[in-house]
Amino acid sequence: MSRPADDAWDVAPVALLRLDGDGTILDANRVLVEWVGRDPQGLRLSDLLSVGGRIYWETHLSPLLHMQGRVDEVAVELRGPDGRVPVLLSAAVHAAADGTRCVDVALSRATERSRYERELLAARAAADRSADQLRALQAATASLSRGVGTDGVARALVETAVTHLGAAVATVWLAAEDGTLVRRATSSGDRAPEGTDVPDEPWAPAPRRADDAPRVPAQPVEEHLAGVVVVALGAPDAPAGTLVLSPRDEPFDVGVLTAVGQQAGLALERARMFDQKASVAHELQHALLTTHLPPDDRFSVTTEYRPGVQALEVGGDWYDAFLVDDDVLAVAVGDVVGRGLHAATAMGQLRSAVRAVAGPDVGPAALLSRLDRFVTQTGAGFMATLAYAEVDLVTGHVRYACAGHLPPLRFRGDGTHEFLWEGRSTPLGLGVDREEAVAVLDPHDVLVLYTDGLVERRDRPLPDGLHALATAGRALGDGSVSDLVTGLLVRAGDVRDDVCVLVASWTPRSS
């Protein structure tokens, strides 16, 4: 292909160039000379481009020409005497007459097109931003809805702030009863770059002006130095607290934070009601479990109750200890099937029934039979399990019976132990013959009754749980029952049941 006639070449409505195989300009038409304001011969095409275009030519376009011989409609900018000139570049490789490699390039002005494209890009950026905002909001809302209780919501809030809202550090401060703000949760801070730590203060909204001054409405999101923002949780006028954030790299989106603040206010309101209900439920349970024993130097009884992790629902576990007559101590630990108020009510009834039907001449087996009748008549506590024992405080004889319940555990003074596996029968309400058995305590022996929550876990068989209890229980002489329970539960994880434990020890009076 030969160079076109001078006229056609120079009056073409586009800038035309011919490059050698290295990209050096061999020839250019008058249009190009006008656009770039100098004689381009001997320069390389990339010298005429803006820096972005130059790098793009070297890293993208030149490789493409080598690999496929042609590129079309690529937007670049020429550096002209009056600033940049947006152009569209098309280029094709061909062999010159002498067989060497040549590149023909045509550049057409793209000022209007580039303006139009900028508008399109701005619109796309706005759409992307909306989508990002929506995603962040959805993530925050979902995360808040999973938080249980006030502390759960506060934790969810700082986590979502770091993972979805672009915060380096996040802190939640909640209003205490006296109105002061108390820190309730802080992000782990692992991601926080040096020097972006949020100051250790609540950054409360600015104090209100005096009443006679015009009221300035509180802002839902206040911006402070270094990009730190304070988000009101709930109504800006009376927030439930504040979320204090320092930015990771980009400024925060005030619109998203405002919406998250409102969502968090609602979530905190719900959490507060939940906390209240949970507290009522646990007070009720505590009241049902109260045990009053006369002071007696022949025995000591210690109890421990731990609610399950899903804290709102009360469970059906109970313990009790009372004197059947002057010299006989009765101890009981039971478990009603199910959860919630229904189970708690049945538990209360059954616990009272045990006390009512127990008596000096009854004994464990007969007591279970009477409870069977009670369960059949009232329907309360069907299939409940119960471990019941009567300790003769003079002789140390223990009569005991287990209705479907785990066996009592006896520790001797020398550190050995024994599970009392006899006296077993079915859970309550099935109306079968009831068994009982006898064990004889030595002075200072300890008897442990417990519910399955202490030893049963999904990730191990029951015998392992019993073994763990027996091992941990050896320390009972030194530590408290509370420590024992804590030690056994520490590895139980998030999904655990209620736990009741009763520990009784016998110390006979020296004759």
Partner 1 sequence: MSVLARNNVVLSGAPGAPAMVFAHGFGCDQSMWRFVAPAFEATHRVVLFDHVGAGGSDLGAYDPQRYGSLDGYADDVVEVLDALGLGPAVFVGHSVSAMIGVLAAARRPELFDRLVLVGPSPRYVDDDGYRGGFSAAEIDELLETMDDNYLGWSAFIAPVIMGNADRPELGEELTNSFCRTDPAIARRFARTTFLADNRADLAGVTTPALVLQCREDVIAPPEVGRYVHEHLAGSELVLLDAVGHCPNLSAPDQVVEAVTAYLARVPSR
- Rounded to a whole number of angstroms, the minimum distance from the CB of residue 68 to partner 1 is 4
Residue 222 binds partner 1, judged by CB under 8 A: no
Contact pick of 6, 34, 73, 283 for partner 1 (by CB under 8 A): 73
CB 85, min distance to partner 1, A: 11
Cα separation of the two ends of the chain? 128
Long-range contact pairs involving 116-123 (C-beta distance under 8 Å, separation at least 24): 117/75
The 121-160 contact track toward partner 1, x by CB under 8 A, reads x---x-----------------------------------
Residue from 2, 5, 13, 22 in contact with partner 1 (CB under 8 A): 22
Three-state SS at 491? coil
Evaluated on CA atoms 7, 8, 14, 20, the torsion sign reads negative
Shortest gap between Cβ of 115 and partner 1 (angstroms)?
9
Interface with partner 1 includes 53 (CB under 8 A)? Answer: yes
| Among 47-55, 204-212, 214-222, 461-469, the segment contacting partner 1 (CB under 8 A) | 47-55
**17: contact with partner 1 by CB under 8 A:** no
Please select the residue that binds partner 1; options are 34, 117, 201, 326, rule is CB under 8 A. 117
Residue 54 binds to partner 1 (criterion: CB under 8 A): yes
CB half-sphere exposure, 325, CA atoms < 13 A: 8
Q: Does 94 bind partner 1 (CB under 8 A)?
A: no
In contact, 344 and 316? CB cutoff 8 Å? yes
The reply on whether position 219 binds partner 1 by CB under 8 A is no
**Does residue number 478 form part of the binding site for partner 1 (CB under 8 A)?**
no
Nearer to partner 1, 71 or 448 (CB): 71
CA distances, 76 to each of 42, 50, 208, 212, 376 (Å): 20, 8, 55, 62, 89
Choose between 74 and 289: whose C-beta lies nearer to partner 1: 74
Phi-psi region of 224 (alpha: psi -120 to 50; beta: other; left: phi over 0): beta
Whose tokens are 């809805």? That residue is: 145
Judged by beta carbon, residue 124 or residue 491, the one nearer partner 1 is: 124
Kindly compute the dihedral angle of the four CA atoms of residues 379, 381, 384, 388, in this order, to the nearest 10 degrees.
Answer: -110
Using the contact rule CB under 8 A, the part of the chain among 42-50, 256-264, 380-388, 443-451 near partner 1 is: 42-50
The nearest distance, CB 48 to partner 1, in angstroms, is 12
CB distance 401 to 368 below 8 Å:
yes
Residue 362: Cβ within 10 Å count:
16
Q: What six digits make up the tokens of 375?
A: 């369960």
**Contact between residue 100 and residue 84 where contact means Cβ atoms under 8 Å apart:** no
Q: Is 72 in the site for partner 1 (CB under 8 A)?
A: yes
Identify whether the C-beta of residue 271 lies closer than 8 Å to the C-beta of residue 153.
Answer: yes
Q: Interface with partner 1 includes 103 (CB under 8 A)?
A: no
Is 163 an interacting residue with respect to partner 1 (CB under 8 A)?
no
Which of these ranges, 43-51, 139-147, 352-360, 371-379, lies near partner 1 under the rule CB under 8 A?
43-51
Backbone φ and ψ of 177, nearest 5°? -60, -35
Alpha-carbon distance of 137 to 133, in angstroms, equals: 6
Q: Which residues bind partner 1 (CB under 8 A)?
A: 21-24, 44, 46-47, 50-56, 58-64, 66-77, 84, 86, 114, 117-118, 121, 125
